[in-house]
Structure 1
Amino acid sequence: MRAPAWALITGAEVRMLCRSVPALVMGAMLPAALGLLIVWAEHDTGRAGRGTATGLQLAVLLALTTYTAGTTTLVARRSQSVLKRLRLSGASDTAVLTGVLLPSALLMLMQGAVMVVAGGGQLPGRAWALVIAVAAGLLVAGVFAVVTSAWTPAPELAQLTTAPLALAFLGGAFWAAGTPASEVEWWMLALPGVAVTQLTRLGWDEPGIGTAGGLAAAAALVIAAAAVAPLAVRAVRWDPRP
């Protein structure tokens, strides 16, 4: 039985990623190094708490691996006319975008697994909260990548065009980390980094965050993705920019 189009595109993207040593090193090593630095700091001080530290790690991976690297890949494939050819192949727009972005998401999950092991292998008591944080975070980062790629003329400029949203994602996580969970206001959840951190806090049952707060954080991520998705559909560019 023939594999679905998104799976075939993902397989091709993974092979191309593995052949590009610089892209693999930069895409895998830098976010992982920053995440492991957070693990080391938490082990050294113990001040943040496992849930908050995990939220910071997840925000780093989502911002740098899923969002920034995903945007770069989309722009590179567009400039090479790959997106246009894939669209003319009969695959749906959703399948094409999913197939191109999925390797970045898989790489982020692998990095996350390494950090869990580096952090002692401690899993949350409420695993569902961590699963929602990862899944909803990937959805938001992927939609943001599609939107940002439309305004990125060349792959070399992706580091610049993704900087504002990436910094907002990371800034939200650090803002939440510096704020007790019980003092995080509902309007702060508009920043995805805050919502992700609140969910990971719920997973490790940190004081000040309950199930209702975790569900509000999950809803904020879903609403953010739903609000940006129509813009992504209208803004996505398939042809190389002149």
Structure 2
Amino acid sequence: MTTTRMLAMGRAELLLLSRNKMALYVALLLPAFMAWAMRNGISKIDPEDAGMSVNEIALTGAFGYILLFVVYQNLVSSLVARREELVLKRLRTGEASDVEILAGTALPSVAVALAQCVVLLVAGIAWLDLRAVTRPDLLLAGLVLGLAMSIALAAVTTVIAKTVESAQLVTTPLMVVSLMGSGLVVPVEIFPDTVAEVCRLLPLTPVVELMRGGWLGGMDAGEALRSLATALAWTALAVFAVRRWFRWEPRR
């Protein structure tokens, strides 16, 4: 029954997503555009300082774009809209649990994100001659943690979004910080040591490092454990915040 309820909510959300042309554009096209645009910017620096080619930096950084634009930003807008329309409140009066409601609402975004990650891997290996996935376990761990963290952070962000219009605005801080410091555009390894250590504490950094290390290799056990611990800590903190402060109905 749990799976049935989640799939039903997911189908409804997917239908609404398909009718929202702007949200559909952001989910399907913006990550690819960002990867292409940032590749041109990366080519102006010396990526060999990070031990990677321009294509490797751009494509592995694109995992972060997918999490930010397809899951995080899109889900904030969806949750705020459903809250303001009293959909979430009505769903809570039924049999679905809180986790089922949030997971069902996130299901279309997660499905699109997974499909784009697969396309990214195939395109990188088949067309751009990138190496095959070196550590599937790290890549999968980074993807799962990234999805869970993005969903939880999106739910937390809705707390400070009073309207659907403001939802886009309140996502800006995390997105700007992640783009600048989480290795999506410039690998953390290129930064000075002190700056790099601070950047490794950002929410999306350990996820990007796990997925990059899983695809390209070069991540030792200590680095993998540190990234896993940081990602788990951020995910746990976000889940706690959701349980404590998430609002299921509009402010009155």
Q: Give the TM-score band, short-chain normalised.
A: 0.7 to 0.9
- Higher mean alpha-carbon deviation, 184-193 vs 80-89, is at 184-193
Of 121, 124, 127, the residue aligned with 1:119 is: 124
Structure 2: distance between partners of 1:200 and 1:134: 7
Question: Which residues of 2 match residues 98-113 of structure 1 at below 5 A?
Answer: 98-113=103-118
- Higher mean alpha-carbon deviation, 104-113 vs 135-144, is at 104-113
Structure 2: distance between partners of 1:238 and 1:8: 19
Alpha carbons 1:52, 1:200 under 8 Å: kept: no
- Higher mean alpha-carbon deviation, 57-66 vs 29-38, is at 29-38
Task: Name the TM-score, length of structure 2 as normaliser.
Answer: 0.83
Identity of aligned residues (%): 29
Give the partner amino acid of 1:202.
G
* Deviations, residues 154-206 of structure 1 (Å, cap 9, x unaligned): 1111111011112222223238605259x686654321232123213322445
Q: Which residue of 1 aligns with 2:239?
A: 229
Q: Which residue of 2 aligns with 1:6?
A: 6
Q: Which residue of 2 aligns with 1:132?
A: 141
Give the secondary-structure state (helix, strand or coil) at the position aligned to 1:115: helix
Q: 5+ residue gaps in structure 2? A: none
Of 201, 208, 215, the residue aligned with 1:190 is: 201
Superposed CA RMSD in Å reads: 2.8
Structure 1: distance between partners of 2:69 and 2:114: 13
Question: Which residues of 2 match residues 63-78 of structure 1 at below 5 A?
Answer: 63-78=68-83
Aligned length: 241
Give the partner amino acid of 1:16.
L
Structure 2: distance between partners of 1:2 and 1:105: 17
Q: Which residue of 2 aligns with 1:94?
A: 99
Of 208, 222, 226, the residue aligned with 1:212 is: 222
Of 155, 166, 169, the residue aligned with 2:164 is: 155
Structure 2: distance between partners of 1:105 and 1:222: 19
Q: 5+ residue gaps in structure 1? A: none
Q: Which residue of 1 aligns with 2:213?
A: 202
* Deviations, residues 99-122 of structure 1 (Å, cap 9, x unaligned): 111211211122222322332345
- Higher mean alpha-carbon deviation, 225-234 vs 141-150, is at 225-234
- Higher mean alpha-carbon deviation, 113-122 vs 16-25, is at 113-122
Q: Which residue of 2 aligns with 1:57?
A: 62
Structure 1: distance between partners of 2:83 and 2:109: 17
Task: Name the TM-score, length of structure 1 as normaliser.
Answer: 0.86
